[in-house]
Amino acid sequence: MMFLNDLVTIDKAADTAVYLQIANAIIQAIRRGRLRSRSKLPGSRELANALNVHRKTTVAAYEELLAQGWLEMIPRKGTFVVQDLPEIKPRKLKQAETSVAYPEKTIFSIDEKRFVQFPALGFPDTKKLIINDGFPDMRLLPNELFLRELRSMGKQPAFKKYNMYGRAEGTDYLRDTLASFLRETRGLPISAANVMITRGAQMGIYMAASLLLKPGDQVIVGEPSYFAATLTFQQAGASINRVPVDESGLAIDAVERLCQTKKIRLLYVIPHHHHPTTVTLSPERRIRLLELAATYKFALIEDDYDYDFHYTSNPVLPMASLDHHGSVIYIGTLSKTLVPAIRIGFIVAPENFIKAVANLRMGIDRQGDSMMEVAIAELYRNGTIGRHIRKVVNIYRERRDHFSALLTENLGQRVSFRIPDGGMSVWTRFNYSDLRTVSAKAFQKGLIMSDGQRYNTGTINYNSARLGFASLNLAEQERAIDIIVKCL
Ligand SMILES: Cc1ncc(COP(=O)(O)O)c(C=O)c1O
């Protein structure tokens, strides 16, 4: 028995359960040869007394070791270390001892030029202040509620069915939940059959582009537009036609002129808060756009990535809520509603489109993470997500107002912007200073901000950036503006 007190140290404050601490210590002792194969272990009661823990704990530790195959129970004799330890010892492919370095490059060629280059996203883990493009404040997500939900669902036997392969369209539970949520909050006359769960909006854009576009197909986007969508259409071989964006959104007359001269296959629009300019497409233009889609029979991708974040009056309902004769592919995401790392988005479309896109998914992703989908559905159903949205909308409204006031008071004529009705950023044009220089100087002074290059389309240099106000509290905003002022 000496080994017990010697080898097993229990830390009751540790995160690892006590029975696992005991089991792990015994495994270590076996691995190090201090407990040899075929040696007998004390009974669970004896072990419990020696370690001063409850007997249930030592029984659980032994059960764990028996299940893993470290111990065996011999009837009427007791518990023993097994003869053949459950450790895999791979056989060498070659007898000679050679140490190899992993190759730096493939021996075969890769035609990287076949693919468009997406600008690297992701943010450095840095102490510097960051004004991002317009992302939510990670600090506000109620992580503990989210994890508690997963834990409590994990305990329910019915939850186990989600361990099996599921549907490419997503779990029915979340499709159904989202269908009612979108019916109630955005007026979409849909059922679960019209919903496909994706890993974020980008996957929806990618799959719609892959399904619809052949090389040479004509696509309309705004000037400017969301760069990642444009790149995705270009990747599919499409020819990009850009139409101006003014205070009322996409210029519909220009769309109509294009339709009269070219066979348009797809139009991409972000009507609620256009990316990057944040303008809202007016109701009149929405109706005209739907009429054009019906007349010229093109597909209309309505990217509604930040619908939940509107700060004035009532938001305009999506085009997908009207009778669109099957032209609209409506795309949404939880990247802004919750956080970008929870990769859940959705496509809403006529059933034939959902079926085709689900088939397409089978070749690359097969399905999403069912457990995450079910937990998210539960958080919608029990009201957690609704409460979170209401709470952060109030916080972001205050942050938007504070940030806009800071821009006016501190930067005056040196920038132009309009206060956005929604979203998480202010589209800010720098009137006299080159944004690349400002951004480089800001970096030296401890602030990371966009240099605006990704919005430039080749023909126009906007010298503008989306300055994300939502993820900075008021004091951080003041520090950021202070630095920008010093850089101008
Ligand atoms: C207009 C627009 N659409 C789609 C996306 C992509 O969102 P997701 O993270 O859901 O892929 C973004 C991300 O910022 C966006 O701005």
CATH class of 129-140+388-487: alpha beta
- Write down the pLDDT at residue 95: 76
CA of 205 to the centre of ligand 1 (A): 9
Mean of the pLDDT values across residues 187-194? 97
Ligand 1 atom with minimal separation from the 203 CA = 11
Strand partners, 71: 81
Q: Report whether pLDDT(355) > 80.
A: yes
CA of 226 to the centre of ligand 1 (A): 8
CA of 192 to the centre of ligand 1 (A): 23
Q: Are the CB atoms for 279 and 249 separated by under 8 Å?
A: yes
Q: Where are the alpha helices (H) located in 213-251, listed in sequence order?
A: 227-235
Write the CATH number of the domain with boundaries 2-81.
Answer: 1.10.10.10
Mean of the pLDDT values across residues 196-203? 97
**Pairwise CA distance, residues 272 & 310, whole Å:** 9
**Size of the chain, expressed as the number of residues it contains:** 488
- Write down the pLDDT at residue 373: 95
Q: What residues does ligand 1 touch, defined as CB less than 6 Å away?
A: 200-202, 226, 270, 275, 303, 305, 333, 335, 340, 345
- Write down the pLDDT at residue 3: 60
User: Amino acid identity of 225?
Assistant: S
- Which residue's CA is the closest to the ligand 1 atom numbered 2? 305
CA of 187 to the centre of ligand 1 (A): 22
Domains of the chain, residue spans: 2-81, 129-140+388-487, 165-386
**Pairwise CA distance, residues 320 & 326, whole Å:** 9
pLDDT, tens digit (0-9, with 9 covering 90-100), for 416-435 = 999 999 999 999 999 999 99
- 243 pLDDT tier (thresholds 50, 70, 90): very high
Residue whose CB lies within 8 A of the most ligand 1 atoms, among 196, 202, 270, 337, for a mutation test = 202
- Write down the pLDDT at residue 122: 64
- Which residue's CA is the closest to the ligand 1 atom numbered 16? 275
- 111 pLDDT tier (thresholds 50, 70, 90): very high
Write the CATH number of the domain with boundaries 165-386.
Answer: 3.40.640.10
Closest CA to 454 of 128, 205, 238, 134: 134
CA of 189 to the centre of ligand 1 (A): 24
CA of 260 to the centre of ligand 1 (A): 31
Mean of the pLDDT values across residues 368-378? 93
**Pairwise CA distance, residues 306 & 336, whole Å:** 6
